[in-house]
Amino acid sequence: PAGSRASEVDYLIIGAGVCGLYQLHQLLELGADVRVVDANSGLGGTWFMNRYPGCRFDSESYTYQYSFSPELLQEWSWKEKFSPQPETLSYLEHVAERFDLERHITFEARVASATWSEDEWRWHVGFEDGTVIRARFVLCAMGLLSVPTYPRVAGRGSFRGLETHTFDWPEDYDVTGKRVAVIGTGASGVQVITDVADKVESMVVLQRDANWCSPLGNAPISEDEMADLRSRYDEIFAWCRDTPAGFIHRPDRVLSTDVSREERLRHWEDLYANGQGASLYMGNYRDCIMEWGPNQELSEFVASKIRQRVADPEVAEMLIPKDHGFGTKRVAGESGFYEVFNQDNVELVDLMAHPILEITETGVRLDAGDGQVRDLELDVICYATGFDAVTGPFDRIDVTGVDGLKLKDHWRDGPLTTLGVQVSGFPNMFVLVGPQSGSATANFPRGIEDVVNWMTQTAAYIDEHRIGRFEGRPEAELQWLEHVREVNSLLLLSKTRSWFNGHNINLDRDESPRVMVYLGGAPRYRKILAEEAEQGYPSFVLSPVDELAAA
């Protein structure tokens, strides 16, 4: 029955988001004994939680969907090129209904602990309500960005109005006529700021570092366009499979230095005016995201666009990132973000010059300089301050492996994984979404399909060969770390302060980076995983069930 919590299962998937749902479907197809648990009261993960105004894809909608079912592809219609959150959540609910997935999911079940039993070759998964499920295999699909972070400022929680993270935004809250402060200008901040600007009485945007944005190019999808997309899905997914990040955009083989400056600028003008989604940074000359020189020239081009769009030159300068080049951190998609700052009811405050002193009952107290303070009287404080990314969802669970080893301790100096899919010392725990995995940096459904397909093939192998214990080798972990470091170093993305390199809650702003993501590209990652399976899993130690029985 729905909501049941049987105490034994072969495969326990944590998380009913985009990844967990697909893994559930694939394991059911295999005939496996599988259950999904999720802390939320409904499915959808990221798309269940993030209900802030303006929340939508930065990926083209038709590439951000499952590719496994031709029937599903033919029956679903996307309404916008970059789907808003409500439509995306409806899509995931439709998938769950279509494939009868929901009865295998237990909601409002937050995992508190997971303890490996060497005597049983089972995980004992403990929930916040005290119940325990024993599982042969635990599959982690808790998401990359599911633990929100807040500024460490005095008085947080004491505000009498609405004080919320974008992640927890109350869907039915009406901002019309309200006095709002938004802290943070990453992908989420850019969306919420743009959406509410002309509804609110006033908005103060509190910005630490500026972030680069590129025009999203959103528009409705007509029936004819949808019919054309439907007729080309095979071709579209084949194309996405071949691109480094699983997007429709592919870096140009041509280098920026192979063409004249006039041609470069013409190309960039075209991408800026007519491009879509990530085309300006993923579909550009490849050296723009690999070499500082070309990157700087592209950054100057984008900065010139900001100067054209923002009326007040001082505000324009504040909105131009000075600490990093274009595309060296996650670029936010925007639709009229810069024009917001030309509105009389919007003010931009530089937090580096005017830090937050405290949150008060009535708003935010800022350091106004010269020993003065400035009190912002508000109705809403919105933290668009990001997430304890990638490892945060693991840290929240007390994971204990072989000989009492804690995952937190194993990852103290940064994550270590076997090919991004396991952790040595934690047998039978598979990471579908987590550090150093190809799933983490791709267009999400494309990235997770690779990992889930590998996992499903591995589950079939486990069944066929009666494997009871499956554990990554420590030496393979160190080799993987070296490999990831090496491939990541080719991209400027690995050299900036962002959640890609662990510069979130884990790090002080001056500590050395961590290897959180795999930037070697989806085709390469897929090939590595395929070879691993073909060669009988040389990076792992596999023990048949009979060995446990014999012990």
**Given the complex with ligand NA7, which of 88 and 166 has the nearer CB atom?**
166
Considering only CA atoms, which of 166, 134, 136, 144 is closest in space to residue 55? Answer: 166
Q: Which of 12, 105, 145, 192 binds ligand NA7 (CB under 6 A)?
A: 145
Cβ(468)–Cβ(121) under 8 Å? yes
Please provide residue 231's backbone torsions phi and psi, each rounded to the nearest 5 degrees: -75, -10
Strand stretches in 304-418, DSSP E = 332-334, 346-350, 356-359, 363-369, 372-377, 380-383, 398-400
Q: Which of 106, 146, 185, 284 binds ligand NA7 (CB under 6 A)?
A: 185
Which residues, at least 6 apart from 261, have a Cβ–Cβ distance to it below 8 Å? Answer: none
Of the listed pieces 31-39, 102-110, 205-213, 432-440, which binds ligand NA7 according to CB under 6 A? 205-213
> How near is the Cβ of 492 to ligand NA7 at its closest, in Å?
16
If one asks whether residue 186 binds ligand NA7 (CB under 6 A), the answer comes out as yes
d(CA 410, CA 142): 19
d(CA 448, CA 45): 14
Per-residue x/- track, 421-460, ligand NA7 (CB under 6 A): ----------------------------------------
> DSSP H helical segments within 150-257, as ranges?
187-196, 223-231, 233-242
Per-residue x/- track, 53-92, ligand NA7 (CB under 6 A): ----------------------------------------
In the three-class reduction of DSSP (H, G, I as helix; E, B as strand; rest coil), residue 394 is classed as: helix
Question: What residues from 211 to 240 belong to the interface with ligand NA7 (CB under 6 A)?
Answer: 211
* β pairing state of 398-400 and 111-117: parallel
Amino acid, single-letter form, for residue 93: E
**Given the complex with ligand NA7, which of 9 and 213 has the nearer CB atom?**
213
If one asks whether residue 275 binds ligand NA7 (CB under 6 A), the answer comes out as no
Per-residue x/- track, 331-370, ligand NA7 (CB under 6 A): --------------------x-------------------
- The helix (run of H) or strand (run of E) holding residue 270 is helix 261-274
**Given the complex with ligand NA7, which of 330 and 469 has the nearer CB atom?**
330
Cβ(329)–Cβ(517) under 8 Å? no
**Given the complex with ligand NA7, which of 114 and 331 has the nearer CB atom?**
331
d(CA 280, CA 121): 49
If one asks whether residue 209 binds ligand NA7 (CB under 6 A), the answer comes out as yes
If one asks whether residue 151 binds ligand NA7 (CB under 6 A), the answer comes out as yes
Question: What residues from 489 to 518 belong to the interface with ligand NA7 (CB under 6 A)?
Answer: 499
d(CA 164, CA 270): 38
Of the listed pieces 204-212, 245-253, 404-412, 528-536, which binds ligand NA7 according to CB under 6 A? 204-212
Of the listed pieces 108-116, 178-186, 406-414, 435-443, which binds ligand NA7 according to CB under 6 A? 178-186
| Residue 542: strand pairing partners | 470
Cβ(363)–Cβ(181) under 8 Å? yes
Q: How many amino acids of this chain bind ligand NA7 (CB under 6 A)?
A: 19
**Given the complex with ligand NA7, which of 60 and 102 has the nearer CB atom?**
60
Strand stretches in 15-68, DSSP E = 34-37
Compute the CA torsion angle 219, 220, 221, 223 (nearest 10 deg).
-150
Q: Which of 37, 125, 187, 492 binds ligand NA7 (CB under 6 A)?
A: 187
Question: What residues from 374 to 403 belong to the interface with ligand NA7 (CB under 6 A)?
Answer: 384-386
Closest-by-Cβ residue to ligand NA7 is 186
Of the listed pieces 108-116, 187-195, 225-233, 513-521, which binds ligand NA7 according to CB under 6 A? 187-195
The position carrying tokens 């496994």 is 68
Question: Which residues of the chain form contacts with ligand NA7 (CB under 6 A)?
Answer: 145, 151, 166, 183-189, 208-209, 211, 330, 351, 384-386, 499
